[in-house]
Amino acid sequence: MSTAILPTPANLSITPRDRRFGRDAAAPRLWHGGRVEATAIYNALSSTFPIGEAYFVESVRAVRHGAPPKLAEEIKAFTTQEAIHSREHDAFNKRAAEAGYDLSKLEQRVEERLAVARARGSFANVAATMALEHFTAILAHQLLANPAHLEGAEDETADLWRWHACEEIEHKGVAYDTWLFATRDWSRWKRWKVKAKVMLYVTRNFLVDRTAGALELMRQDGVTGIRAWRLLLTYLWVRPAMFRKIFAAWLKYFLPGFHPWNEDDRHLLAAYDACAKDAPEPTRKVRRAA
Ligand SMILES: [Fe+2]
Ligand SMILES: [Fe+2]
């Protein structure tokens, strides 16, 4: 059996921040600076979270049996964080629906993808979760590191995205470490092969589905055809270019010796927490996952 050295920082604390967003005042339909394409891509991402994050939790929990105590604790904190994210994005998606968007096609697509993944068994599920958690973590890093991505967005909605990004960075190693634990008897080659194949598959689906989802929402705003493609592709790949800017970090996943915590970006969390100090205290205690 190979023994894995887990480079997750020993002093990392995964702390669910039980915050609520957008309950008091309605944000405008085009909450992202009045821009159709910017609102559409964030709304498309949000439509996947409640279903997707429940799947991540289910996948990690399915293989956690016998995990060492530190990892078991991290899985609990991860579960709690994802459950709160789902609650907040569910509320966000309801507001988008109230503003007139129909997200049902987008949600249905996620369900279809997950049905295919689930049929492939628990290792495939953890591999898909680990790949998507890497995606979320590098998107989160970019979102927090570069203010251009949320420029012009309505304040509280922007705060929801920063809060979520922050916790995604904090728990970015959990699915990965769970995978290392679950596949501890596999050879390095087999691990790499499955991990790389699943990442390529997940990336293709992610790019195709989120682009299609955003175009569908833009269509609901009356923007279609070449104009829609031009606006969306420029936003994602040219300026502020979220997808282009995460490419180098995405590529690192394939390097031998990769681990999400090879890059310690906790300074971004510290900056967020310092700004959020003025945020109202949560009114309810965080109920930790079992
Ligand atoms: Fe999340
Ligand atoms: Fe996550």
Please give, one letter per residue, the 3-state secondary structure of the chain.
CCCCCCCCCCCCCCCCCCCCCCCCCCCCCCCECCCHHHHHHHHHHHHHHHHHHHHHHHHHHHCCCCCCHHHHHHHHHHHHHHHHHHHHHHHHHHHHHHCCCCCHHHHHHHHHHHHHHHCCCHHHHHHHHHHHHHHHHHHHHHHHHCHHHHCCECHHHHHHHHHHHHHHHHCCCHHHHHHHHHCCCCCHHHHHHHHHHHHHHHHHHHHHHHHHHHHHHHHHCCCCHHHHHHHHHHHHHHCCCHHHHCHHHHHHHHCCCCCHHHCCCHHHHHHHHHHHHHCCCCCCCCCCCC
Residue-level pLDDT at 7: 85
Ligand 2: centre distance to CA 195 (Å)? 18
Counting ligands in written order, the one closest to the CA of 86 is 1
How much is the pLDDT for 1? 43
What does the pLDDT read at residue 273? 86
290 residues of the chain, pLDDT tens digit each: 444 555 899 999 999 999 999 998 888 999 999 999 999 999 999 999 999 999 999 999 999 999 999 999 999 999 999 999 999 999 999 999 999 999 999 999 999 999 999 999 999 999 999 999 999 999 999 999 999 999 999 999 999 999 999 999 999 999 999 999 999 999 999 999 999 999 999 999 999 999 999 999 999 999 999 999 999 999 999 999 999 999 999 999 999 899 999 999 999 998 888 887 656 555 444 666 66
Q: Calculate how far, in angstroms, residue 53's C-alpha sits from the geometric centre of ligand 1.
A: 6
Q: How far is the CA of 224 from the centre of ligand 2 (A)?
A: 32
Ligand nearest to the CA of 84: 1
d(CA 42, ligand 2 centre) in Å: 16
CA torsion, ordered 275, 280, 284, 285, to nearest 10 deg: 40
> Residue 145: what residue type?
A
Ligand nearest to the CA of 161: 1
Which tokens go with 194? 């499955």
Angle between helices 36-62 and 174-182 (to 10 degrees): 30
Which residues make up the environment of ion ligand 2, defined by Cβ < 5 Å? Answer: 168
pLDDT for the residue numbered 46: 98
Write down the pTM of the prediction: 0.95
Q: Which ligand is nearest to the CA of 45?
A: 1
Q: Give the pLDDT of residue 25.
A: 82
Q: Ligand 2 centre from 26 Cα, in Å? A: 26
| Ligand 1 geometric centre to CA of 216 (Å) | 23
CA 222 to centroid of ligand 1, rounded, Å? 30
pLDDT of residue 274: 85
- Give residue 82 CA to ligand 1 midpoint distance, Å: 5
Q: Which ligand is nearest to the CA of 136?
A: 2
Q: Give the N- to C-terminal CA distance of the chain in Å, as an integer.
A: 29
pLDDT of residue 26: 82
Ligand with smallest separation from the Cα of 175: 2
Q: Residue 81 CA: which ligand is closest?
A: 1
